[in-house]
Amino acid sequence: MSGLPTPASSKQRRVFRRSNIPVSQTRALDILFARARVTNLGFLALAIFAILSFIYNLSYHFSYAQGQWGVRPESIFQTLPHYAKNLGLDHLIIVPGHSIWTGTDPSLKLDEDQWLLEPYQKGGGRIDAFVSHIARGAELAHQDEHSLLIFSGGQTRAGSTTTEAESYLRLATSSGLLPPSPSTHFRATTEDHALDSYQNLLFSIARFHEVTGKWPTHITVVGYEMKRRRFEELHREALRWPTSRFDYVGIDAEKDGKAAQAGEVKVSIAPWQMVLSRTHKISTAVIRHFSPNDVVGISSGDSIRTTPRRPNLRT
């Protein structure tokens, strides 16, 4: 007896057989579709672990925010590497730069073609004075093992990619004024940003602190004799540095005479004296007599609080 015919409207179902699926996939499917067997004890253990992990991460986050994680520095300066911190250095020796030595042969150091000179610096034994400043600074550094010699001076010439300080240190090393020993090199460095004598002093003090991690107890400046008054009476006084802890070694060029002394008083000393005598306050009537290149003012009512701006940069 034949079976009943299949209705035309019915759809024949497709049958999937496991025999058509690879064995590796079959095992994976068995695992995925198997009934979970996590007991109440297992679930409780996982929950406790998740809670403890959350609490630990939360406490870690708040402890870091409150500074309990590690040591939070009091200032950004404490993060700087003070590579001479344990040498016991307390004496700052400053040699301000006045030009840039471009040479490579120290035997030609007195040749004007080896220097980037301003017109007024040519002739008159200026280069002899530069070299004497470098030599005297190196000599003082050798005499005091607790001193740090800093050559100070920025990129003051448009035609140079180096600084006065870097060229002075390079000349001192190549000339044998600073022997190539680790201890000597460790106690001589540069300050490469100063553009005038006041910045020579101020920035060198900051550089000393950057290198040693502390402030100097004594300062010695080696420069022109005609600038002694500028450093001892004006710049030192502006920084409130004690006279008992400040020395100046003056070495002038051979032909620096009365004209140079008069220019020093008129262009460099006079503006500083005016500022200091008014305790940093000058009336607006007086300020009109100053060149904008000599003084910069900040308006404050009827008076102007002033600070000198690089008068006569490299005389």
pLDDT at 125 over 90: no
Residue 61, pLDDT score:
72
Tens digits of residue pLDDT in 215-236: 999 999 999 998 998 899 889 9
Q: For residue 81, what are its two tokens? A: 């590497």
Q: Please, what sign has the CA dihedral across residues 78, 83, 89, 90?
A: negative
Residue 171, amino acid: L
Average pLDDT over residues 193-206: 94
What SS3 class is residue 273? helix
Domain spans in the chain, listed from the N-terminal domain onward: 88-256, 259-315
Residue 37, pLDDT score:
63
Q: Above pLDDT 70, what percent of the chain? A: 59
Please tell me the distance from the alpha carbon of residue 56 to that of residue 273, in angstroms, as a whole number.
64
Q: For residue 221, what are its two tokens? A: 């400046």
Output helix, strand, coil percentages for the chain, rounded to the nearest 5: 45, 15, 40
Q: Is there a contact between 93 and 140 (Cβ–Cβ < 8 Å)?
A: yes
Please tell me the distance from the alpha carbon of residue 46 to that of residue 123, in angstroms, as a whole number.
88
Residue 288, pLDDT score:
40
Higher-confidence residue of 168 and 297: namely 168
Please tell me the distance from the alpha carbon of residue 3 to that of residue 6, in angstroms, as a whole number.
9
What SS3 class is residue 14? coil
pLDDT at 19 over 50: yes
Higher-confidence residue of 299 and 94: namely 94
Please tell me the distance from the alpha carbon of residue 256 to that of residue 247, in angstroms, as a whole number.
22
Band (pLDDT 50/70/90 cuts) for residue 259 is low
Please tell me the distance from the alpha carbon of residue 187 to that of residue 212, in angstroms, as a whole number.
10
Please tell me the distance from the alpha carbon of residue 282 to that of residue 292, in angstroms, as a whole number.
14
Please tell me the distance from the alpha carbon of residue 36 to that of residue 206, in angstroms, as a whole number.
70
Q: Is there a contact between 53 and 179 (Cβ–Cβ < 8 Å)?
A: no
Please tell me the distance from the alpha carbon of residue 307 to that of residue 290, in angstroms, as a whole number.
12
What crossing angle do the helices spanning 164-174 and 126-143 adopt, rounded to 10°?
A: 70
CATH architecture of residue range(s) 88-256:
3-Layer(aba) Sandwich (3.40)
Residue 124, pLDDT score:
80
Tens digits of residue pLDDT in 91-108: 999 999 999 999 999 999
Please tell me the distance from the alpha carbon of residue 47 to that of residue 140, in angstroms, as a whole number.
73
What does the mean pLDDT of the chain come to? 76
Q: Above pLDDT 90, what percent of the chain? A: 40
Residue 6, pLDDT score:
60
Give the DSSP per-residue string, 170-232: HHHHHTTSS-S-HHHHHTEEEE----SHHHHHHHHHHHHHHHHSS--SEEEEEE-GGGHHIII
Q: Which of 122-126, 207-211, 215-219 has the least mean pLDDT?
A: 122-126
Give the DSSP per-residue string, 89-146: --EEEEEE--SEE--S-GGGTT-GGGEE--GGGSSTTHHHHHHHHHHHHHHHHHH-TT
